[in-house]
Amino acid sequence: MRHLGVRLVPNAMAEETVEALRGTHTSGRRYSRDDPIATVIAVSDDGPVSVFRDGAVLEHRFSED
């Protein structure tokens, strides 16, 4: 990990081909499509955690508080 809180801007193809989820999760998923060897972990303030690779959702969980 090199940075936190960085805005990920996907290319036009990723925006067209990768379905939107929500906020940071959509950005993370689309970025993972642009960089297929990256594993992207998106964490929201309200609980959901998602893991993406090559545009695919590997895991999506909600907090069990």
Asked if the structure places residue 4 within a domain, the reply is no
pLDDT at 22 > cutoff 80: no
User: What does pTM read for this prediction?
Assistant: 0.76
- For residues 45-60, average pLDDT: 90
Residue ranges making up the domain that contains 21: 12-61
User: Which contiguous run of DSSP H or E holds residue 32?
Assistant: helix 23-34
- For residues 31-46, average pLDDT: 88
Spatial neighbors of 31 by CB under 8 A, at least 6 apart, are: 8, 10, 14, 38, 40, 52
Count of domains forming the chain = 1
Asked if the structure places residue 55 within a domain, the reply is yes
- Secondary structure (H, E, C), 5-19: CCCCCCCHHHHHHCC
Strand partners, 34: none
Asked if the structure places residue 39 within a domain, the reply is yes
